[in-house]
Chain A
Amino acid sequence: MTPNDTQTIHELFGAGALPDAATVDRLHARLVEVAERDGLLDVCYRTMESPYGPLLLVATTKGLVRVAFDVEGHDAVLAHLATAISPRILKDQRRLDHAAAQLDAYFAGRRHEFELDLDLQLSHGFRRNVLMHLRDIEYGATASYAAIARAAGSPAAVRAVGSACATNPLPIVVPCHRVVRSDGSIGQYLGGPDTKRALLAMESAA
């Protein structure tokens, strides 16, 4: 291949430059539609803005399966889900509109409870049991790690409640931010202690 040949290629295929982003977006939307229709879309996701930074929302056909803060690294979360659930993952704004709208209303103080189908498949055993009990803590209220351990039937498992909260796949929606230390201090949070403090302040102000 001489430089002259390469030039000819560029002349020939100069018109074959890579398509622009709008074209790829249009085709992507069509792919999502067909994949959904043919039952090939195992996992879909979108991102949304929140007062606590961008959030990643992920759903399976069963329901919302993951909410992730920016600090967790959205790409890393999706890469993990490709192994943990299925690599058939596509960005799909529409299927998660409902969840995003409820979260928006929550951040605006207009919604106190989420009415969403949840898929808890990322949480197992005792941790999953803990998540079920977290859903009983009402908006604006808090509970101690020890109280949740008692409610979950294992009063001694206070630390395990802490790790269940720390690995909650659905923060905000499953309100692990409402679990605080028995001494009243705030404790750890996936989205950082400042976010936890802010969420609790917002809820108690409403």
Chain B
Amino acid sequence: MLNRALVRDVLDAALSTGGDFAEVFVEDRYNTQLQMVGGDLEKAVSGRDYGIGIRIFRKLNYVYAYTNLDTRDSLIEVAKTAAAALPGASQNIVINLSRIAVEDRHPIKVLPETITKQQKVDLMTRAHLAAKNYDEQISQVRVNYMDEDQKVLIANSEGLDVEDRRVRTRAMIQAIAAKGSEKQVGFYGPGAAMGFEFYDTIDIEEYSREAARTAITMINADLCPTGRMPVIIDNEFGGVIFHEACGHSLEATSVAKGSSVFSGKLGERIASDIVTAIDDGTIPNAWGSQNVDDEGRPMRHNVLIEKGVLKGYMIDGFNARRMEMEPTANSRRQSYRFAPTSRMTNTYIDGGQSTPEEIIANTEYGLYAKYMGGGSVQPATGDFNFAVREGYLIKDGKIDRPVRGATLIGNGAEILKRIDMVGNNLALGQGMCGSMSGNCPANVGQPMVRVSEILVGGQKGDQ
């Protein structure tokens, strides 16, 4: 992608002052984004992202610079400008790049560029029709399609020289139901680290009908009551609760500086003993997988929590220095425009013993969150909030009636201890995770879990 002699010279220029480590990240990416509203293809954009990021460490400080210009003069100048921020005598580090061949664990069968735009539009039309025709109360359907083909070169002053190619695609279906002036939204967004063959492995119309069913169920639902109650969160995208409320607090970004509630708690019990949590960037062709992380380390299967005990954090190369621990191949970034940092890949609560039927039958009163919406967390405190996309009240061990407008409010550290049932139906769901190094594709996941008590915010007021 870039002449290796030039890469080495750029690394040399980056270490011409006090730096003790330098890295070059070259990215050449081709993106396609299509948007269909009401069956009409309204937006079609495609193009090429191209840039080079240069990162330099000096002990616990770092400098990051990037440019789109890949001429020798430009790159050397950018490297020197960045190096000037770390004044000091050069450490005369000798750089010998040695190319590492990476085993491709995520083979692509049909590259997106070999599929015409019209074939992609045809897929979207099928998705649109399946949602639109589901029910006459479906007033609007939006379908977004994306694919990307990212080629990266990562080289550093320790001699690492590795290339990776990441191909991803995703279709996002939003179905809107209307009744009078009220509207409710259902959503499904399946995606994978695959080419266009992904759509042969799923039934896109099934996802559309499910999004439409959610919207219809919610438009006809009562307002959710407010109060503390047991909450059952179903599998797949329900894992967003762990992702937001706990996962972010296990990233070195917040752990290294002691600002996470889980800082210094390795080996301690932080969750109930039926909770085991994993971050695994190696799952073949999964949405959050790749061959190497954005610092060039082969992806790993990392146990975060084992039977309630904190076993590990997600650590990038820079924060590893402050923590004096080994990196875990969790360094990720949206693009060359971001310095990488510790991020989740495919993160999930592992499967347990209970069947979903048992969990519901054992709950006298509470909320059943069939689908979760998004959420956010304040890493320093662990306080979180999540929207429930499709919820039901549970009465006497049975699913009673649907309720809408519910939000789950709580604290990550507390909720982990309150998980009192874990189901056996583990599944993963796709999301885009936003943090310091930008938006990264990430799988969340879990089986059905029950939390003994969460504050549920609804519009109905006190029950």
Whether A and B are associated in the same complex: the answer reads no
Residues of B within 8 A of A (CB): none
